[in-house]
Structure formats: structure tokens, C-alpha cells
Amino acid sequence: MAGTWVFVEQKDGNIRKVTFEMLSELKKGGDEVAAVVFGKGVEALAGQLAQAGADKVYVADDDIFAAYNTGAFVAQMIAMIKEYSPNAVLFAHSFNGRDMASRMAQKLELGLATDAIAADISAGKGIFTRSIYAGKALAKVEVAGSPVLATIRPGVWEVGSTAGAGAVVKAATAATAADVYQVAKSFVATVSARPDLAEAAVVVSGGRGCKGPDGIKLVEQLADMLGAAVGGSRASIDSGWLGHELQVGQTGKVVLPNLYVACGISGAIQHLAGMSSSKFIAAINTDTEAPIFNVSDFGVVADLFKVIPALMSGLK
Amino acid sequence: MKVLVCVKQTFDTEAKIELKDGKISDAGINLIINPYDEVAVEGAIQLKEKGIATEVVVVTAGSDKGMDAIRTALAMGADRGILVKQDTAADEYARAVALAAAIKAEGADLVLAGHVAADDGSSQVPTRVAEILGFPHVNVITSIDIAGGKATCTSEADGGTAVTEVSIPAVVSSQVSWNEPRYPSMKGIMAAKKKPVATVDAAAADNKVKIVEFALPAAKTAGIKIEDDADVCAAKLADWMKNVVKVEVK
Amino acid sequence: MIFGSEPLRGFYEVPMREVGANIPYEWLIYVIMLIPVCIFLWGMWKKIEVWMLAKGESKRFDRWWDRTVSLIVKAFFQTKVVKKPLAGWMHAFLFWGFLLLAIAAGLDAMHSMIKWPHLEGNLYIGMSWIVDVFGFLALVGVLVLAYVRYVQKPDRLNDTKSADGWMLFLIFAILLTGYFIEGARIAAQIMQTPFMEQLPYEKIASPIGWVFASLYTSFTVDSILMYHRLLWWFHMVIAFMFIALVPYTKLWHIFASMFNYFFRDLEPSANRMVYGIEEAESFGVEKIEDFGWKDLLDLDACIRCGRCQENCPAFNTGKALNPKLTLIQAMKKHLDDKTPYLLASKGNPEHDAETAMTDEAAEVNPMEQSLIYDIVTSEVIWDCTNCRACMEHCPMYIEHIPKITEFRRNLVMWQGDMPGEAQAAFTNMERNYNPWGVGWAGRAGWLDERGVRDIVNLIPEDGKEFEYLLYAGCAVSFDDRYKRVGEALVKLLNKAGVSFGYLGKEEYCCGDSARRLGNEYLYQTLANQNLESFNNYGVKKIIVVCPHGYNTLKNEYPQMGGKYEVYHYTEILAKLVAEGKLKPSKSLGAKMTYHDSCFLGRHNDVYDQPRAVLRAAGGSIIEIEKGRNFGFCCGAGGGRMWLEEEAFEGYKRINDTRTDQLLVPNPQMIVTNCPFCLTMISDGVKGAEAEENTKVFDVAEVLWQSMS
């Protein structure tokens, strides 16, 4: 087969974890794995990509790729696909990834499997597993095409330690200014601030059991460790420990994170209405009868003031 | 400025999913407008209220049941509806082809849609439609400003907030935090009954993605509940978070 | 005699009083009387004209007999008025005094004008005594009422106007001058009596007058007779002023109250039905003239006593809603301002002159003011918890809640303007038939979760016969805390051998929250779904767990053809306990306070049965001041369970305020009978950090605890 390409997610020289996950997983198969990176001054990243398993690293280095824009990136990728005929091209299921993959798929009149959580790629086709209906069902789909296209959900694979040769192939810049139709006006990074509650993959919430700002501080520390958003039950907001915009529940926000950690929250129905659809729910509460334990996947009946610090040590 | 809004009818987000004959059963399921599309409809109506949009037309592709989605959008304040009759098993490619054909026939200055559908979670259709129409696109917007033939959109991009400018006509997909969709009042529902809805056949297109099989996820094992020393509990919880949930630790 | 008068004789052989004695031209009074009467009738016509502006419907012309009885009992016996002992009884005195004096004056007039025979002998003595004493009680009444308003100054009388004082003074003056006149008459009679023994009947017949007579001892007979005449005409003038002023002042309440007693709502507490909603062209009330005449009459009937305000949970926690001032009186003022314009726009030329702007009206045109947004305001409209304290305590039977509901209907169904949380609740009820929005497919999940599946006849699956339908409601199905109450109840019913069935997924939200928030359409949709389900399985009797569901099924479903025997579960448990079918095996011996929920209590008068159950379980109930029909709302009614409540500066939230009241006796338990109350009070107990010592339970749980 002509190799599986992984489009590299990087910004300012920082490669996102999902790229390493994808390279590592594909390395396990027998086919050639190549990393494809567009940017300015990105040839230097080849080493890291090889570490993660890339046999080849295709580099398109040009000013026009300094920041992501759909037009130029899609034009470039199509040109390279025509030149190098990969069997499959995989993207991360990220803002950039699905944006680029969808536009390109339509341009090539191909099918695309997005947000896949499992992949089985063979010559000319790929069978992908997708989580649908907010995780309530699974669909196995077959995408046949040249190349096979898919986007992969971050976090479903693990970073491995098998390295590849990482041979750099410099691709000619095929994209021109005429391909660009989006003008990037500004970009404000939110690295320092916590993610928005409604979009966060992990939410750590504090309730009455936090007893005050001290308990909430622990919640915040745990959240920062997990790159999570901070939320609160009605009690915390009422007591002024957390801002109004952080209230999770019937009269607050409804959140759908991958993991919801409820600290000192009893789980009264008004709160559950805001978070019960979370994929995983962990609860820490001293009351063994607290309703939150009826919905939690992992419940701990203990004092959060002791559990959270110990938990943070354990996660390191 | 004429605004077209693509809406999809999906299962109610609380619906219990069951399989029948290997397919997802829709027996007894309440159908709703995809919440993300609802936000797009609201966004379009607000543009009309500001005097920027002159007409809001909603288009949906699928079965006749899609009429409910159209009526809801009309009750919110859209002006006209178009139902593109298509097999509900159409994939993203075929769906995009059908929608784009209807939009092209209708003519649009701005095309809005939710950035993802609550049922399939694909996030492809708006971008595909843009490609077919040859329009620029911006995805996952939280706000939009239209002036001088340009749309300036704020998006929730990876790792930050991006402001992108494109020329109109364009396709823009909405994030759920853009606005709070209004509740269709009885007044709106009554007015909706008189608004015109056209039914057209879908432009022919084959599926590019084949369904191999549907399955239900393994039944959720009963939650673990431990009552022990704080340290013991914390260690077990950390374990679970790392190995089962697979959290990313900074 | 036309120009003279009967002289005032010292005594009469047969005890009696000559009407109009010593008053020359006494007959003139009946001519002059035409003036105030015409002014009165004109004023009354103006009132009727306003009621005729009402475009809405008020169907209150049924049950004539019941209405007549209602009027007679409530007006004559002042039953509602005296519920507030001091002011109430004083008003009763005032009322009876005035009534009897009016009757006496009427009899006098009848004698004067058409020669009805005098009252004589013992009949005269007896009747005169009654009138004299009650007239005096009226005098005492008006003085005490003035004391209450101006010295005691209760909060409920927080809008005292100068007119209030003038009316009191007028009444006082009329009564006082009356006694002065009587005193003068009797003094003159005494002085003209040869022998005192000839006048003793007068001492009995006019005991108060007799005392007043002693004021004249230093006067000559002639001067007394002159004062008698002067006072008499003066008294006539101010009494006629009173009559003329009635329709133009708060005195109108005399008639407005009678109309309200007659036309009051005789039905059990229910929201007003909207028939033919599918074809309706408008929803709720947007303009004041869109109300029915009864609602406009209510605005007249309000005498600003403030009992509604006193008991309103919103007002008492610092909110904008004040049933007296910001609802009824605000509406009344708006109606008064708008009436000239409305009448003018009916093309009535003589009213054009009235539309000449007053200074105030020149600033704002009432025709352009929005009743909902400018006059009452949305804040006030959404503040109401529908607890019914206002209607319960209003001595005029004013209907506050239906007006609020009409505003909400307009806001929700016509304008589409409602708090976002209300919208979410509606969407949840529409899609999943419960306000929490949890998937409807899991409605019967609590049976397995609480391990009671085998003792419950899940009708659609098991198909067994049943006597009662157990309408568990949304809370039992989806509120984790309340599932335990459902569990306790079915275990109790099972133990008592009650034959019951449960519809599970085929049970839908009763629709109360939707209706109370103004979404009548959604309510009717849900109700129809339930009615179809009930009729499908031949339901005849229903036991309801939640008081909101109970109120809706019992009082409101009949509006849509659903006629069943509906019981609240506490009524059934009380019956079972009394019949010995449920015998507690131990006495809990718990010190408890009991929270009367609004919908079981004030809306449906169920106060005793839950208490009986609690006592049977060995609970010792400490009755708090704000109990039974004075119960203070938990804050969740009227659909407010789903809305955010702001805590205002200087006040706690409604539920915290109520919890504080329930915690005063430091009870071991607080017992509730409603899922909303249980949630709100539990939150309140946590907020007060009293969970260690005080647990919150529902009645069923308490009884079950005593059985196990």
C-alpha cells in the first residue's frame, strides 16, 4: 500500500498530542506511516515526528502556511496527494482537522469518516468506528476512495515508543495567494485561561461540601491539572465562592464533558439536569446516600479535603 | 441580503437509542431541530431584525417529517421553507450535494448551519456545501458582523478564539454559544402556518460512506463506589481517571 | 304638615318616637335626597360603563342560589372580614351599626312619606335599643379603626392617603352628630316631661342617647330645640354627602364588596380554562380592557387593606411583587387613567371633554402604555408563586392569580417573552413530558431502582385490575431524592392491601408547571395525553403523590372532560390509618414541624389528614404561627421551581425564609407533603447548616419509618 498519512497538528512549533497518538497507532500496522506538516520553519519538527513513528515526514514550508487557512492548506494537500498517492490521509478531529478534511473531501468528491474512535485501514478502503448519538450508539462505516479519508478523535489512542526513520521529503509549494479566501484578522490564545464550561472535555465542580473558598481552591487546582473547566452547584454560586457563569444545573449551564468530577456535590436533581449526560462521572462526597452516587461511574465516599490533594499526587 | 439556513431534524437528545433489524429504531422517538441548527436559525432571524438580512429561508433535506423542523423555524421567524426530499440514510456527501443544489437554485448571500449535528456528530456538511457552491466558509462561529460585502466571524478554534474575515456570499456554521434560540410563541406558530414551504426532489448523489453495522455500546457497568481511607480512595480514583477515562494531565 | 312640624312632645303614652318632630319642613329632606341619590346613580352608571368596556368574558351568572347565599352570609356576617380580629370586628361593628341605622332611617322615611305606622311599644323599645347600641359600637369601631391606621400603623396599611382620613372623619361626624341630635331630642323630652316616670322607656330604647342628653342639662328647652334642628339639617347634609360620595371614593367598596361576594369564583381553585385554543386569535391579556368585567370589578373592590401584601412570600422577601400596590392598585390606577380615552374612542361625544389632559396625563398617554411592561412590569408578573395567600386572605375575594396568569399567557404565548429557564422547562415538557427533561423512556425506571417493581402493577405491562390509579408524577420518576418517597408510598399501599396500578411510560407530566407559567397550549397538550391514557385503561379513581398534580387532576382536568375521583395520598393514608389497615409498629417520638404546602393547603384545604398520619406515626407536631392557611410558601409554586430566584438586599430567599420559620422550635424533623417543598426546604436546611439536627422527610416516609 502507498502509506498512511497523518496530517500534523501544530502551532508555533508545538505539536499536539493527538498527532503522536495517531502516528504511534498507525505504526503498529505494517504500512508506511508518514507525517505531513505545513507551516513556516517546520522542518525542525521532523525529529519529534520520527520519534513517534513517522517513517517519512513530508514538509511544505512556506509563508502561506504560517497560519492555518483552509484554501491554501487544501490546495497544497491535494497537489501532494496527486504527486505521492497515499493510501489514506488521516487528520485529527480538531477545528483545523475537520475543517480541512471536509473541504478537501468534497473537492475530491470522496467520503470522509469523522471523529473515528477506531480504524482498520487496508488497500483503498478503511473501516472506522464512530460514536454517534452523543455516545449512545456506535456505527462502523466503510470509506472507500483514493485516498481513504478520516479524522480521528483525540485521546482514543496512546502514544507509543516505536520510532520511525523520519525521512524528510520537501514538497513544492503548490498553494498560491489565489487559493486563500479567509483573512485571519486575529487570534487570541486561551492557553492561560481555563476552557469554557460548555465546551470543556473535563469539568471539575465544587458544591456545598467544599465549605468555602478553601475547598474551591482545591477544585481549581485539580481542574488546572486536568486542563479542565471549573463549575459549581447552586450552593457554591449562591455563597459567592464561584461566579454566576460557572453554575452547572437546571438554571445554570448544561455541560457534556468526557469527565465530570463532582466534589462535595450531593447530586440533587437540579444539578443532575446540568451534567448527567457526561460520559464519565466521578464523585467525591462524605454522604454515602448522596444521589450523585446513583449516576457516578466512580464514587468516593470520603472527605474531598483529603482526597483531592492525594488525587493530584496520584495523577502526576 | 438573503440568508439560507440549513437545518437537520434529529432525535431528541434525551432519546433512548435502540436497534431494530440492525438499524437505529425511531419508534416513539421525538424529533427536534438539531440544537446547533436552531442557533443558526435564531442568528439569521436576529440579522433580519437588525435589518441586515432581508429574507430568511430554511432548507432541510430528508423525509417528510422534516416539515416539523421547517415549521418550528418558521414559527421562530423565518420567512420560507424548502423541504428537499431525500432518503434519511444519505451520507454527508449526498446530503451536501442535495442541499447545495437547492441553495444554488434559490440563490443565497449567506448560508448558515449548525457546525455539527447532535445525532451523527460528523461536522462535515456545512464545509462540503461551501465547497460545492464555491463559497468561502468559516466554522464554529460565536458571533458575526456583516458590513461592506464582508462577514467578520469570531470562531472557537483550537486553543483560542480566531477572528476571520470572508467575502459574501459565504457559508458560516454556528457554535451553540452564539445565541439563545427563542421559544416559538403561539403567535409565531399561527403565522408559520401561512408561510410558504416548497418541496423539491433531491439532486441525485450516491453515498460515498457505507454503513457496515450499528451497535450499542457495552452496557455501562454499575458505578464503582468506594468508602475507605482518603489516600486509598484517591489512589484508586487516579488510576481510574488515567486508565479508564484517559485524562490528559498537565 | 307642610310648613310646620310636629312638636317634640315630652313623652308618648305608648312608647314611640315621632319621626320628624321639631323639624319644620322635614319633608324637604326627601326632596333634597334626590340630589345625592342622583349623584350616586350617576356615579354608579360611570362604574358600570367601565365594566361594559371589558372585552373579555366573565361567566359568573350560574348558581344563583349559591351566590345569593354567599352574598348574604359573607356580607351580613362579615365572615372573611373578622378573620383579622381587631380591625375585622371593628369593621363589623361599623358595618352593622351603619346598616341598622340605615334601616331605621329607612323606616322613618317610610313613615314620613307614605305613612307607614310608627313602631310602638316593646317593638319600638327593642328595635331602638338595638340600633342605638350598634350605632355606638359603630362609633367605637371607627375610632379604633382610625387608631389602627394612624397609631398602630401596620405595614399592610402602607399607602394611607388623605382621603382615608377624611372618610373616617366623615363617618365619625355622621355618627357623632346623630347622637348629639338624639341627645338633644331626649333632653328636650326630659325637660318637657311632667313626671320622669313617664319617660323610662326612652332610657332603655336609647341608652346612648340618654347619656348624650345629659350634655344639655345647662341649656334651655328652646335652645335645645334649636340645636336639635340645626344638628338635624347638618347631619342630613353630611349624610347626603356620604351617599353622594359613595361611587367616587373608597366608600364604593360597600357595593363593590356585595357584587364581589355575589360574583366570586365558586369553583375549587383552578386556572381559567381556554376553550378552542387552536383557533384562538390572541392569548392572555395585553390591555386592561381585554379582561372580563369581573376582573375590572375586582380592581374596584380592593380597599387596600393589605392582607394580601402581609402574607405574600414575594413581597416579604423584598421582591417587586406586592399584590396590593404593584398588582391590583397599579392596574386600578391604569384603568382609571385609561377610562376617559377608552370611552372617548367608543365615539361618545360627551366624553371628549373629559379627555382634556390633566397635568399628569399630559406626560403619558395611557392608550400607549403597556399594561404588562409599563404598569405591572414583567418582574412583578414572574415573581408570583401562585401560593394563594393573597386570595385566601382577601376579604373581597379578589382574584389575583388569574390576572397574573393572563399576563403570563400573553407574555409566553403571544409575545414569546419569558425567562430562559421557563423556555427550557417548556422544551423539556414538550419533548420528554417532564420539566427536568430526563428521557421519558425511563419514567418507570424508579420501580427497579428502588426495588419495588414486584409490588407495583405496571398496567401497560402487567395489565392487572386496579381500583386506584397511582399517579406518581414526574418527581417520583426523575428526582432521586423523591424516588424514595414513591418507594415508601407503594410499600405502604401494598401493606394496606390497596388495589392500585401505575401507568409508567404512559403517564405524562400533569402540565401544572406549564399552565402556571402561562403556556396554556402546552398544558392542554399534556393534559390531553394523560386523559387519553387514563381513559384507555378505564381509570376512575386516582391517588396523586404531588399536590400540584393533585390540584391539576382534581380541579382542572374536569375542564377538559376528565372527571375522576382524585385523592391526595395523605388523604388515603389518613383513611387507612383510621381504618386500622396501617398500624405503626413503633412510635417515632419525633419532635417535628409540619410545612403546609400551598397546593395541598390553601388551594385544596387539606390540613388535617397529613397531621393525623404524622401523629399516628408518633410524631409530636409543634404548630408554627405560619401554619395551615397562613402557611408561608416554599417558593417553588407557580412554575417558579424552574426559575432563578434572586435574593434581595436585606432579605433571604423565600425557601430560606420559610425554613427559618420551620426551624424555630428546633425540631428533629421537618415534614413536607410535596416534592417541590421537599427540595426547597432541604436546600434551606442545608443553607442554615442545620442538617445535623434536623432531617427533612415527606409524610409517606415518616409513616413508613414507623411501620418498619
Kindly report the CATH number assigned to the domain that includes residue C352: 1.10.1060
| CATH code where residue C682 lies | 3.40.50
E strands, B34-97, in order: 55-62, 80-85
- Closest in B15, B32, B187 to C414, CB measured: B187
DSSP assignment letter at C368: G
- Closest in B17, B132, B211 to A133, CB measured: B17
Q: Is A195 part of a structural domain of the chain?
A: no
Rg (CA), chain C: 31
C338 and C407 belong to one structural domain: yes
Chains that touch C (3 or more CB pairs under 8 A): A, B
A224 and A273 belong to one structural domain: yes
Q: Is A160 part of a structural domain of the chain?
A: yes
Chain A positions in Cβ-Cβ contact with residue B118 (cut-off 8 Å):
133-134
Q: Say yes or no: A235 contacts chain C, CB-CB below 8 A.
A: yes
A167 and A209 belong to one structural domain: no
Note whether A107 and A70 are within 8 A (CB).
no
Q: Say yes or no: C497 contacts chain B, CB-CB below 8 A.
A: no
A165 and A260 belong to one structural domain: no
Print burial letters for C259-275: b (CB count within 10 Å at least 16), e (below 16): bbbbbbeeeebbbbebe
Block residue for cell numbers 489512589 = B235
A264 Rama class: left (phi>0) / alpha (psi -120 to 50) / beta: left
Which H or E element spans position C257?
helix C253-263
Alpha helices in B174-240 (DSSP H): 186-192, 230-240
C517 and C602 belong to one structural domain: no
Q: Is A119 part of a structural domain of the chain?
A: yes
Average pLDDT over residues B109-115: 97
Distance of residue C626 Cα from the nearest chain A Cα, in angstroms: 26
A257 and A116 belong to one structural domain: no
The x, y and z cell numbers of residue B115, run together, are 457546525
Across the interface, whether the CB atoms of C415 and B30 are under 8 A apart is answered no
A174 and A211 belong to one structural domain: no
Phi, psi of B228 (to 5 degrees): -160, -170
Distance of residue A299 Cα from the nearest chain B Cα, in angstroms: 4
Q: Is A193 part of a structural domain of the chain?
A: no
Give pLDDT, residue C363. 65
Strands of the C468-471 sheet, one edge to the other: C457-458, C500-502, C468-471, C541-544, C565-568
A100 Rama class: left (phi>0) / alpha (psi -120 to 50) / beta: alpha
Which of C269, C215, C260 has the alpha carbon at shortest distance from C58?
Answer: C260
Q: Is C524 part of a structural domain of the chain?
A: yes
| CATH code where residue C500 lies | 1.20.1050
**Rounded distance between C-alpha atoms, residue A7 and residue A37, angstroms:** 6
Of chain B residues 14-53, which have a CB less than 8 A from chain A? 15-17, 19, 24
Phi, psi of A59 (to 5 degrees): -120, 130
3-state secondary structure of B151: strand
C306 and C410 belong to one structural domain: yes
Give pLDDT, residue B221. 65
The parent domain of residue C137 ranges over: 87-251
Strands of the B209-215 sheet, one edge to the other: A167-170, A56-61, A33-39, A4-7, A88-92, A148-152, A113-122, A125-132, A137-144, B209-215
The parent domain of residue A104 ranges over: 4-179
- Closest in C414, C420, C431 to B12, CB measured: C431
Q: Output the average pLDDT for chain A.
A: 90
Q: How far is CA C565 from the centre of its chain?
A: 27
Distance of residue A133 Cα from the nearest chain B Cα, in angstroms: 4
Q: Is C34 part of a structural domain of the chain?
A: no
Note whether B143 and B178 are within 8 A (CB).
yes
Note whether A251 and C644 are within 8 A (CB).
yes
Give pLDDT, residue C351. 47
Chain B positions in Cβ-Cβ contact with residue C440 (cut-off 8 Å):
14
pLDDT-derived band at A233 (thresholds 50, 70, 90) equals very high
A79 and A221 belong to one structural domain: no
C-alpha distances in angstroms, C225 versus B154, C11, C24, C173, C350? 96, 15, 11, 20, 48
- Closest in B14, B180, B186 to C521, CB measured: B186
Which of B73, B14, B85, B20 has the alpha carbon at shortest distance from B48?
Answer: B73
Q: Is A184 part of a structural domain of the chain?
A: no
C449 and C412 belong to one structural domain: no
Helices C699-707 and C569-578 sit at what angle, rounded to 10 degrees?
Answer: 30
**Rounded distance between C-alpha atoms, residue C229 and residue C8, angstroms:** 11
ipTM of the complex: 0.91
Q: Is A192 part of a structural domain of the chain?
A: no
**Rounded distance between C-alpha atoms, residue C144 and residue C151, angstroms:** 10
| CATH code where residue A214 lies | 3.40.50.1220
Give pLDDT, residue C357. 47
- Closest in C438, C480, C642 to A294, CB measured: C480
Number of domains comprising chain C: 4
**Rounded distance between C-alpha atoms, residue C312 and residue A255, angstroms:** 36
Across the interface, whether the CB atoms of B217 and A137 are under 8 A apart is answered yes
Distance of residue B39 Cα from the nearest chain C Cα, in angstroms: 14
| CATH code where residue A146 lies | 3.40.50.620
- Closest in A102, A190, A259 to B160, CB measured: A190
Chains that touch A (3 or more CB pairs under 8 A): B, C
**Rounded distance between C-alpha atoms, residue C399 and residue C298, angstroms:** 7
Which H or E element spans position A6?
strand A4-7
**Rounded distance between C-alpha atoms, residue C41 and residue C45, angstroms:** 6
Calculate the dihedral angle through the C-alpha atoms of A286, A292, A298, A302, rounding to the nearest 10 degrees.
0
Alpha helices in B50-113 (DSSP H): 66-76, 92-106
Across the interface, whether the CB atoms of B156 and A199 are under 8 A apart is answered yes
Q: Is C569 part of a structural domain of the chain?
A: yes
The x, y and z cell numbers of residue A240, run together, are 459567592
Give pLDDT, residue A240. 86
Across the interface, whether the CB atoms of C283 and B186 are under 8 A apart is answered yes
3-state secondary structure of C97: helix
CB-count burial class (<10 Å; 0-12, 13-18, 19+) for C180:
buried
A172 and A263 belong to one structural domain: no
pLDDT above 80: residue A155: no
Across the interface, whether the CB atoms of A208 and C686 are under 8 A apart is answered yes
Across the interface, whether the CB atoms of B14 and C521 are under 8 A apart is answered no
Which of C558, B15, C192 has the alpha carbon at shortest distance from A132?
Answer: B15
C225 and C92 belong to one structural domain: yes
> Of all residues in chain B, what percent carry a pLDDT higher than 70?
98
Q: Say yes or no: B32 contacts chain C, CB-CB below 8 A.
A: yes
A219 and A134 belong to one structural domain: no
Tens digit of each residue's pLDDT (9 = 90 or more) over A256-303: 788 999 999 988 877 887 888 788 999 999 888 888 998 899 999 999
Q: Is A294 part of a structural domain of the chain?
A: yes
C95 and C242 belong to one structural domain: yes
Average pLDDT over residues B125-136: 97
Q: Is A186 part of a structural domain of the chain?
A: no
CB-count burial class (<10 Å; 0-12, 13-18, 19+) for C650:
exposed
Q: Say yes or no: C441 contacts chain B, CB-CB below 8 A.
A: yes
Give pLDDT, residue C246. 96
C-alpha distances in angstroms, C147 versus C144, C154, C639? 5, 11, 41
**Rounded distance between C-alpha atoms, residue C441 and residue C243, angstroms:** 67
3-state SS record for C456-486? CEEHHHHCCCCCEEEECHHHHHHCHHHHHHH
Give pLDDT, residue C2. 54
Across the interface, whether the CB atoms of C480 and A272 are under 8 A apart is answered yes
Phi, psi of C567 (to 5 degrees): -125, 150
**Rounded distance between C-alpha atoms, residue C238 and residue C246, angstroms:** 12
List average pLDDT for each run of 10 residues in chain C, which is 708 residues long. 68 77 83 94 94 92 95 94 94 94 88 81 88 94 96 94 95 95 89 76 87 90 90 94 95 94 96 93 94 96 96 96 97 94 72 48 78 96 97 97 98 94 94 93 94 96 95 94 96 97 97 97 97 96 98 98 97 96 93 97 97 95 96 96 91 96 96 97 92 95 94
Q: Which of A128, A145, A179 is the last residue of a domain?
A: A179
Chain A positions in Cβ-Cβ contact with residue B130 (cut-off 8 Å):
103
Longest Cα–Cα distance of chain C, Å, equals 100
Chain A positions in Cβ-Cβ contact with residue C644 (cut-off 8 Å):
251
**Rounded distance between C-alpha atoms, residue C325 and residue C378, angstroms:** 15
Q: Is C493 part of a structural domain of the chain?
A: yes
Among B33, B177, B183, B194, most C C-beta atoms within 10 A, so best to mutate, is B183
C-alpha distances in angstroms, C320 versus A149, C54, C309, C316, C647? 60, 27, 11, 10, 12
Q: Give the pTM.
A: 0.90
C111 and C217 belong to one structural domain: yes
The x, y and z cell numbers of residue C519, run together, are 403556556
Cβ contacts of B213 within 8 Å, gap of 6 or more:
A139, A140, B22
Calculate the dihedral angle through the C-alpha atoms of A247, A250, A254, A256, rounding to the nearest 10 degrees.
110
Tens digit of each residue's pLDDT (9 = 90 or more) over C17-58: 777 788 888 888 888 999 999 999 999 999 999 999 999 989
Q: Say yes or no: A127 contacts chain B, CB-CB below 8 A.
A: yes
Among C423, C436, C450, C480, most A C-beta atoms within 10 A, so best to mutate, is C480
**Rounded distance between C-alpha atoms, residue B14 and residue B37, angstroms:** 17
A213 and A267 belong to one structural domain: yes
Chain B positions in Cβ-Cβ contact with residue A311 (cut-off 8 Å):
234, 237-238, 241
Q: Which of C578, C601, C630 is the last residue of a domain?
A: C578
Cis peptide before B169 (omega within 30 of 0): yes
Q: Which of C205, C227, C251 is the last residue of a domain?
A: C251
**Rounded distance between C-alpha atoms, residue C95 and residue C76, angstroms:** 9
Phi, psi of C471 (to 5 degrees): -90, 95
A217 and A151 belong to one structural domain: no
Half-sphere exposure of B74 (CA within 13 A, CB side): 23
- Closest in B16, B32, B180 to C439, CB measured: B16
pLDDT-derived band at B249 (thresholds 50, 70, 90) equals confident
Q: Is C314 part of a structural domain of the chain?
A: yes
Strand partners, B33: B9
**Rounded distance between C-alpha atoms, residue C486 and residue C236, angstroms:** 70
Q: Which of A179, A212, A244 is the last residue of a domain?
A: A179
**Rounded distance between C-alpha atoms, residue A266 and residue A282, angstroms:** 12
Tens digit of each residue's pLDDT (9 = 90 or more) over A81-126: 999 999 999 999 999 999 999 999 999 999 999 999 899 999 999 9
Among A211, A251, A288, most C C-beta atoms within 10 A, so best to mutate, is A251
Give pLDDT, residue C19. 78
A146 and A223 belong to one structural domain: no
Q: Is C703 part of a structural domain of the chain?
A: yes
C568 and C635 belong to one structural domain: no
Number of domains comprising chain A: 2
Cβ contacts of C437 within 8 Å, gap of 6 or more:
A273, B14, C424, C427, C428, C431
